[in-house]
Structure 1
């Protein structure tokens, strides 16, 4: 005999969360009215006397659950969330290793360095780091996109698991109802007939039926174990989904917060570098202006004082007049002395000439005699 399958119907499948355990385990009371009706109709189709029916009871739901568990495991195994974590770590290390404040002295410590060279070096360092950050960011975006798709997939997996959970629950409830019927009605009635008739065939039938019920109880218990697995898979799926969601949020936060903050740091650093360059240029202009003002002031002072001093002097100074007067007196005195001496010499000469002339005449006269 083929496996008897339980048909839920669309309305029942749409509300799997309605199934819940009672203190004593799953029971008919734990189902909705619609589900109770389906289960009770299904109980009448269960044939305990058919060994194949007992073996295959609920096996379809178990098989689907087993395949579902394998698919879930395979999906988790192929995920590489560690790679996303490594990328986030690489991003943090790359940003921290970028030193916008300079290499040794620090950005402000180099205030009086060559601003243009410093800005070029800063831009070069930024460009190198930016390439790595953009590469890491793109890879993180790809991981985040995959995780977002996985989050949607996990929602579907969770819903599917709920359907399997409900299906197993209803098989278990139907099985328990059948076992209850057999233990409370069928077996007692058969025992009573055997006791009354003493028929060995009836006794064997009773024994076979009791064994069949026992095997069916084990099958239902086996379904309960499968149901427990399905019950555990629900929170497991949510945990994995939550991990992906948190990591996706972390990636998004890094992309929209950490990277822009780092770029803002670059803007501030370049702004400070440009301000430093402008300050240095302004300082040079100010120093040159002050030097020119000082030199002009010294020239103006020297010129003004010279002009004032010169303007206060007479055309001929008293010292010059005194010297000229002294020279004039000395000149006049000298001329007078020279004239006097000349006159004396001339008078002496005239006397000498007269004497010579007299001597000459006497000599000549002497000769004539």
Structure 2
């Protein structure tokens, strides 16, 4: 592609040959009567002189000249447009965009595999450093492969940007060339219609010969055909004008992709790697802090347990040391039990005494009844 547009000329030239294959003829300046002022502000002084010289070479009485006028430039424009189209068609900026997305996806998958963010990886108690290094190595391998492809695309895009500059230069050359053809044609058309055609019309009126009238009519027809040819060239020039911003748009897209690739390679990936180093350092510190925290927690727990045990032992010892041989509660209970026993004994004794008295009275009654009965029998 680097030599693809070398065949297109970058200097505007004018020729009456239809499709020049060799070196194009250079028109020589020739003095001529100036035509009515036309817009030639885009041309240099040398190009203006070349236009004025080329006007004298145009023969509107020659049908082939009219037919082939500017055809060479139109053919080169067609070839140029085809080459430009092929250059655009062979680009696949979508692939570059997909590769950039792949880089982001790799970084995102690594960052979110355990938890959101690098610090989320530190929330599990397993051996995270080994897992992090393994994931980092895998992600780095994938990213490095993508970066190689991106760098190749970057080199190609930089070449394309340079080629598009060449394309823009060639397109500008054709624009000037078409403008020179149009300017020269309009000048020639003015000359013929203002000078040659009135002469033929006057001659035909004077002679009254049909051939003179036909000659005037033929020249007028040629002028009309030539005017249409100039209009066709103006249409081609319009296409040339529209091609310029299109080239710049494609070039802008290429430049944007180059910048994105450059930013990814130079900024994003090194930043990710530095964050990975920091993440590993943070994990080491976190593990050390966790170990120290466990030791501190265990020490505090042991101190609390020992203090509690010491408290309990001290209190029990103090209680036992202050305690008498027999508890007052025990004496109280024993005394109450003894009193209750004595009360029971006294009640039993009283009940026994009362029963004996009742028994004695009963025996006396029985004895009296027996005596009485015995007396009754003796009588």
Normalized against structure 2, the TM-score is what? Answer: 0.67
- How far does the alpha carbon of each residue in 1:173-231 deviate from its partner, in whole angstroms, 9 at most, with x for none? 00000000011111011111111111211111111111111111111111111111111
8 Å Cα contact 1:48/1:209 also seen in 2: yes
2:120 corresponds, among 103, 106, 125, to 106
Q: Structure 1 227/2 Cα, relative in aligned 2: closer, same or farther at 3 Å?
A: closer
Matched pairs, number: 281
Paired with 2:95 and 2:112, the residues of 1 have a C-alpha distance of 28
Normalized against structure 1, the TM-score is what? Answer: 0.69
The alpha-carbon deviation at position 251 of structure 1 amounts to 1.3
Residue 277 of structure 2 aligns with which residue?
267
Residue 70 of structure 1 aligns with which residue?
82
- How far does the alpha carbon of each residue in 1:298-331 deviate from its partner, in whole angstroms, 9 at most, with x for none? xxx9xxxxxxxxxxxxxxxxxxxxxxxxxxxxxx
1:136 corresponds, among 138, 146, 161, to 146
Residue 3 of structure 1 aligns with which residue?
17
The alpha-carbon deviation at position 108 of structure 1 amounts to 4.1
Paired with 1:109 and 1:30, the residues of 2 have a C-alpha distance of 71
- How far does the alpha carbon of each residue in 1:224-261 deviate from its partner, in whole angstroms, 9 at most, with x for none? 11111111111110010011101111111111121122
Paired with 1:288 and 1:2, the residues of 2 have a C-alpha distance of 102
Q: Answer yes or no: is 1:90 the counterpart of 2:102.
A: yes
The alpha-carbon deviation at position 106 of structure 1 amounts to 3.2
2:210 corresponds, among 200, 213, 232, to 200
Q: Structure 1 156/210 Cα, relative in aligned 2: closer, same or farther at 3 Å?
A: same
8 Å Cα contact 1:169/1:227 also seen in 2: yes
8 Å Cα contact 1:101/1:108 also seen in 2: no
Paired with 1:46 and 1:218, the residues of 2 have a C-alpha distance of 15
2:157 corresponds, among 144, 147, 161, to 147
Q: Answer yes or no: is 1:235 the counterpart of 2:249.
A: no
Unaligned stretches of 5+ residues in structure 1:
10-24, 302-369
Paired with 2:238 and 2:26, the residues of 1 have a C-alpha distance of 22
1:57 corresponds, among 69, 74, 79, to 69
2:179 corresponds, among 128, 147, 169, to 169
8 Å Cα contact 1:6/1:42 also seen in 2: no
Paired with 1:250 and 1:30, the residues of 2 have a C-alpha distance of 37
Residue 314 of structure 1 aligns with which residue?
none
The alpha-carbon deviation at position 294 of structure 1 amounts to 10
The alpha-carbon deviation at position 52 of structure 1 amounts to 0.9
Q: Answer yes or no: is 1:37 the counterpart of 2:40.
A: no
8 Å Cα contact 2:189/2:227 also seen in 1: yes
Residue 195 of structure 2 aligns with which residue?
185
Residue 358 of structure 1 aligns with which residue?
none
1:244 corresponds, among 254, 257, 267, to 254
Q: Structure 1 28/133 Cα, relative in aligned 2: closer, same or farther at 3 Å?
A: closer
Paired with 1:245 and 1:8, the residues of 2 have a C-alpha distance of 40
8 Å Cα contact 1:54/1:216 also seen in 2: yes
- After superposition, the CA RMSD in angstroms is 3.1
8 Å Cα contact 2:182/2:230 also seen in 1: yes
